[in-house]
Amino acid sequence: MTLAAGLNLNVPKSAESSIIVRDMTRASPPGRDSLRAEPTPSCSTGSRSEAIRRGGIWPNGPQAGWSVPLRGLLAGGVLGFAFILIAFAGLFGVFAHKVSTASLPADPQADAIVVLTGGTERISQALTLLDEGRARRLLISGVHPGTTRDQIVSVTSADRPLFDCCVDLDRIALNTAGNATETAHWVKKHGFKTLLVVTSAYHLPRASLELTDTLPDIDLVPYPVYASGLDLSSWYSDRKTMQLLMREYVKYTLARLRIGASRIFG
């Protein structure tokens, strides 16, 4: 019997295949497995989100495509907001300085006077101007519907014959824009060409703005009234006065925007 005859050379195919696979695996270079199947990434929502979070879908991570534009937008937003704050503070300072340094006209004269309600001192000053012959007629705009003429005369110590002769009351206006609208009707009704505007110093810029819009062809003469107990000259050192001026400046700015928009868009 030969050696070949003594050996069983009929190796099962399955075993033969495994031997070949093992041999091929050994023959592969270190670090590489030619027959090892790579795991297929899961397409589920959770695993995809995890892959995105770790930067597995983008080689350089998601921050590589988004971080620079996002930082630029944030920086631009911060700079824009800071610019708005600085501009607001600067314009408010100009407004407060203008209000605190407003002076009385040297020789106020006009066809008529309008006083915008909001304090007894305003009405008293307007009545004084009327009594001095600075104008022919006076409109008190924004009078409460329940306030009578007798009450106004009593509170202001006005001359009753002069009041009955030459003072009109507007009970319709509810705000400064309404004051301007009702004043315009009154001025046009009487044919006045010049108008003394009497109101508090801090309120005068907005009142003049509204009246200029409704009466563009009328010559306005601003007459500021300084209320007792309100020191506008040192507004920056008193918190309440600063808050008052800031509120008025916001109202003034909004009125300018509203009037400007109405002129543009009709």
**pLDDT beyond 90 at 25:** no
The residues that bridge with 167 in the sheet, in sequence order, are 138
User: CA angle, corner 67, sides to 66 and 72, nearest 5?
Assistant: 105
Q: Select from 228, 225, 226 the least CA-distant residue to 126.
A: 225
pLDDT at 152 over 70: yes
| Whether 227 contacts 196, CB under 8 Å | no
Report how far residue 164's alpha carbon sits from residue 184's, in angstroms, rounded to the nearest whole number. Answer: 22
Query: What pLDDT does residue 250 have?
Result: 96
d(CA 140, CA 149): 11
For the ranges 31-35, 55-59, 168-172, the maximum mean pLDDT occurs at 168-172
- 79 band by pLDDT with thresholds 50, 70 and 90: confident
Annotate 237-252 with b (16+ C-beta within 10 A) or e (fewer): eeeebeebbeebbeeb
Question: Is pLDDT above 80 for 151?
Answer: yes
CA proximity to 197, closest of 257, 252, 99, 122: 122
Give the pLDDT confidence of 202-230 residue by residue, as tens digits.
Answer: 999 999 999 999 999 999 999 999 988 88
* Mean pLDDT on 22-49: 46
119 in Cβ contact with 143 (< 8 Å): no
Which domains does the chain possess?
112-265 (3.40.50)
219-225, strands of its sheet edge to edge: 167-170, 137-141, 112-116, 194-200, 219-225
Q: What is the pTM of this model?
A: 0.71
Q: Which contiguous run of DSSP H or E holds residue 116?
A: strand 112-116
Nearest to 50 by CA among 41, 60, 40: 41
Residues 6+ apart with CB under 8 A from 110: 134, 135, 192, 194, 195, 196, 219, 221
Is the model's pLDDT at 17 over the cut of 80? no
